[in-house]
Chain A
Amino acid sequence: MSIVHRYKTGFPTLPLRVYHEHMNMNRPYHSIPKSLAKPLVSSEVQHQISKSKLKRRQQLAGYLTIAPALVLILGLTLYPVAYSIWLSLLEKHSFFPQERFIGLENYFYLWKDPEFWSSLWLGVVYSVWTIFFQVILGVAAALILNETFVGRGLVRGIVLFPYMIPTIVAVILWKWLLNDTYGVVNYWLFALGIVREPICWLGADHIMLSLIVTSIWQFFPFVLLSILARLQTIPPELYEAAKVDGASAFHRFIHVTLPQIRGILFVVILLRSIWMFTKFDTVWLMGEGAGAGRFIRTLPVYAYMRTLTYYQAGLGAALAVIMFAILVVCTVIYFGLFREEADIG
């Protein structure tokens, strides 16, 4: 590129190709013996030669510095994911080395396995509800925190706490708040006369609701902060103009704010969907020891249990592969449906 550039800007230079043909050689430039090159070329061309040598060295340095990262990602993320496809075709105990190739047997088994279908359904229910409320609450909260009021910085800091703490803490906090005998939630509901007897929040009937509430509480700050960051970049003139035109707050949101946050909303919903559909720790920890765990046994939890409770690594891997396939298909459809937003985002 620099050669062409120099040529165009009128430097007295010889394009390397010409030089190359003149030397009638197809060897790399740096292998030309100096004694041979010297009398034939101008100093400018020689400058180009050392430049190309530099370029090769640069390439090498580039590859060397990216290598550790690439090796780690290829070896420890991409290879395991590819390996899980192979693993899903095996019958394999999770702890012993024996393995037997059984083709698509694991997938056929899952197709007829009612627990698989129920876990898929529970996973969809969990994802849809949590994503829906995270987005609604996140956007609403972002709009509130984008207004000016006393103590705004403090509130902005506090609302992010739930997203920053370990999942185990979020879960034990909510398990304690929702405890049927000693929990504060039941105490309040009782004190306010809403219920007559304590609700068993972690029992079969309500555990999904409890899980959804906990997850929304823990993850909506992500939506909030992403949207807030975008809101801050919207030029205030847009709102001024809308106000002059007599638009109400609602109309300003629909016609000014929404078009502006569409791009980021697209990305946020995509990320949250992927993460909620594959969410393991919150769901698993919420169900652990609650007795009603099987009422929130979503797909990731089921994959984990097949691998480490029933020791069927092949089936566990098959579940992981199915999960991955569902995600890929949904992502492609999502991109197709919202092509316009994808371009902005």
Chain B
Amino acid sequence: MNRWRFKRLSTRGLLYGAAILLALQAAFPFFWMVSTSLKPPVEVFAQPPSFIPHHPTWENFWRLFTSTGFLTYFRNSVIVSGLAVLLTMIVSAAGAYSLTRYEYMGREKIAGLILCTYMFAPIMVVIPFFILVKKIGIENTHFALVLAFTSFCLPFTLWLMRAFFKTIPVQLEEAALVDGADRVRAVIYVVLPLALPGIIATSIFTFILAWNDYIFTRILITSDELKTLPVGVQDLFHSALIDWGLIMAAGMMITIPALLFFVTVQRYLIRGWGAGAVKG
């Protein structure tokens, strides 16, 4: 009996140990980022390192806002991500509606084709994309960037939205139609409200993808005042002495919006995950 209890206790102990380890490996780097960003420059480079800042200060954030282009990058990121979400949502909602509500030749082929492009990695698309964009003459514009994000997100947003639309019974729409609503009103008042969790989930995934993107922005945007956050922050490294306090403050400021969105979407996450909504 005692041996059995001992064995049980040690299994529980191992389980909790492993769980704590899992949480720590994910959380510690963030904790360290927060801690560094709140330290004055002298303390950043102190040996031994202090885990809780002895003299916490907002100095790094202040410098970030006043002496770098951070606010411009932030604004650009918000604009580009916002527009990408808007365009992606409209196009993929229409597409998903088409794939689930209308019958026409080649419908399944189109769906399959779209899923295939899900396999294309950014690096394979972005080089020819860059050359083509130069040919049309829209290089170095937010417009090109929004188009790139939208076409890149579309395969999975469309696929996810299709999965959501499939779960909404057609009979509900038909009832609305019988009651005298036209197609557009039936969609706006019946289908979209029911698909709301899917719409929220896909829009947040698109936002995170656009917000986090590095490669498209690096290649398509050349002028400093059009850069988004990841590229702008990367360029903070191009000084002789790396100002780690400043960089960690910048890291904090990019991470917070992404994490906020993540926490909001968590409820929908598992459902979306099943449909393959996260890429990277």
User: Which residues from chain A sit less than 8 Å from chain B, CB to CB?
Assistant: 55, 58-59, 61-66, 68-70, 72-73, 75-81, 83-84, 87, 92, 94-95, 97, 141, 144-145, 147, 149, 151-152, 154-155, 157-169, 172-174, 176-177, 179, 181-182, 184, 187, 191, 217, 219, 221-222, 225-226, 229, 271, 274-275, 278-281, 284-285, 288-289, 300, 303-304, 307-308, 313, 316-317, 320, 323-324, 327, 331
A165 in contact with B212 given A72-B151, A80-B132, A177-B32 (CB within 8 Å): yes
Against A, the Cβ 8 Å flags (1 = close, 0 = not) of B200-238 are: 000000001001101100010000000001100110011
How big is chain B's contact interface, by range? 35 or more
Interface of A is mostly: helix
Contact: A59 with B102, CB < 8 Å? yes
A141 in contact with B22 given A76-B151, A225-B273, A229-B274 (CB within 8 Å): yes
For residue B33, CB closer than 8 A to chain A, the reply is yes
For residue B83, CB closer than 8 A to chain A, the reply is no
Who on chain A is nearest to B106 by CB? A63
Work out how many contacts link A and B, with CB atoms closer than 8 A: 258
* Complex Cα gap A154–B22 (Å): 11
Contact: B95 with A66, CB < 8 Å? yes
Within 8 Å CB of A151, what residues of B? 19
- Tell me which residues from 238 to 272 in chain B have a Cβ below 8 Å from any Cβ of chain A: 238, 244, 247-248, 251, 254-255, 258-259, 262-263, 266, 269-270
* A–B Cβ pairs within 8 angstroms, 5 of them: A65-B94, A73-B151, A141-B22, A165-B255, A278-B122
User: Which listed residue (B25, B48, B248) contacts A187, Cβ 8 A?
Assistant: B48
User: Which listed residue (B44, B97, B131, B212) contacts A87, Cβ 8 A?
Assistant: B131
Contact: B130 with A307, CB < 8 Å? yes
* Complex Cα gap A274–B92 (Å): 24
Contact: A62 with B103, CB < 8 Å? yes
* Complex Cα gap A310–B57 (Å): 44
For residue B49, CB closer than 8 A to chain A, the reply is yes
Stretch at the interface among B63-71, B152-160, B188-196: B152-160
Contact: A62 with B125, CB < 8 Å? no
* Complex Cα gap A181–B133 (Å): 43
Excluding A182-B47, A303-B127, 6 further A-B contacts by CB distance (< 8 Å) are: A66-B110, A78-B117, A80-B128, A145-B19, A317-B131, A327-B119
Contact: B255 with A62, CB < 8 Å? no
Distance of B112 from chain A, by nearest CB (Å): 12
Contact: B123 with A320, CB < 8 Å? yes
Contact: A173 with B32, CB < 8 Å? yes
* Complex Cα gap A323–B18 (Å): 38
Contact: A217 with B25, CB < 8 Å? yes
**Nearest 4 Cβ contacts at the A-B interface:** A62-B102, A278-B121, A76-B151, A69-B95
Within 8 Å CB of A165, what residues of B? 212, 254-255, 258-259
For residue B180, CB closer than 8 A to chain A, the reply is no
Contact: A289 with B237, CB < 8 Å? yes
A80 in contact with B95 given A155-B22, A167-B230, A176-B248 (CB within 8 Å): no
